[in-house]
Amino acid sequence: MLASLPSHGLNVGTVLVLEDEVLVAVVIEDLLLDQGAAEVFVCRDADEAQALVALRNVDCAILDVKIGDSDCFGLADDLNRREVPFFFATASGPEAVAERHRHRPILAKPYSNDQLLEFMQAAILAQREELS
């Protein structure tokens, strides 16, 4: 399934990263830009991310489940309505993901750069297949 995308990098425009850990967010942003993402927007809370999604077209999103004292599920609902591919990257187990989103991929922290890229490529491909 992953062979359909170029092995040399991502074929994606704008990526939203919802991550409250600064170091993790910087590493993800650098990785995605190095791998060919046109733009990466890092948001540290769900309200900021929702505002961004209202103003910008987002091609893919990576969501940390627990952001401070809140969660990402309102944002996930919005991304789902907009047909934006996304997945969860979390140190919490699958039980922390709202039931309505448990069909989405869940990348367990800690993860490698390769795992993150594989999940992103899989999310993009799955969305393309759903829409075709």
What is the residue-wise DSSP string for 30-96? HHHHHTT-SEEEEESSHHHHHHHHHHS--SEEEE-SEETTEESHHHHHHHHHTT--EEEEESS-GGG
Tens-digit pLDDT profile for residues 61-120: 999 999 988 999 999 999 999 999 999 999 988 999 999 999 999 999 999 999 999 999
Structure pTM? Answer: 0.90
Q: Tell me how crowded residue 120 is: count the other CB atoms within 10 A of its CB.
A: 28
CATH ID of 12-131, from 3.40.630.30, 3.40.1390.30, 3.30.565.10, 3.40.50.2300? 3.40.50.2300
The residue extents of the domains of the chain are 12-131
Tens-digit pLDDT profile for residues 13-33: 999 999 999 999 999 999 999
